[in-house]
Amino acid sequence: MSKSMVVMQPQPVMVSRDSDQWGSGICDCCNDVPECCFAYWCFACFACIKAKKYGECLCLPLLDLCGIVPPITMSIRVSMRQRYGIKGDMCHDCLVATFCKACVWCQMSREMKARDLQITLVGFLISIINTMTSVISEISV
């Protein structure tokens, strides 16, 4: 009788938080002082780096410099709300993106850190468990 080993790749796991609200407020910039200072002193660089980390084009936030209402900041904020299941509306997103742009980017950065950390840890643990199971299966054969 031949034994065959079935290897299954871990599937992406999304960890949802209990809250459907932002993890921090728009004015909670002091929760992450280095990020706040970076956004204040070099906002264009900060926004471009965070857009890339979110999966968008690196230079996309630079398009916000052309208009009164920053469409890129607003669209990434709306996208982030949808991705993470955060409640909100377009009117509020438009207001904060227009009048509190640096604070909005800091808030989105904190949210990505908080939510992506959970996703990364779960995926990492599943990989370790699958690897250990495979090694144990091979040893016992």
The residue type of 1 is M
Q: Which amino acid is at 62?
A: L
DSSP alpha helix (H) spans, 1-100: 33-41, 43-54, 71-84, 90-99
Rounded to the nearest 5 degrees, what angle is found at the Cα of 98, between the Cα atoms of 81 and 96?
45
Report pLDDT for 65. 78
Tell me the average pLDDT of the chain. Answer: 79
Provide the pLDDT for residue 126. Answer: 53
Amino acid at 134: S
Ranked by mean pLDDT, the top range of 4-8, 67-71, 136-140 is 67-71
pLDDT in tens, 86-138: 999 989 999 999 998 999 999 999 999 988 754 444 444 555 555 555 555 56
Distance CA 3, CA 46 (A): 54
Q: What is the pLDDT of residue 66?
A: 76
pLDDT at 69 over 80: no
pTM over 0.85: no
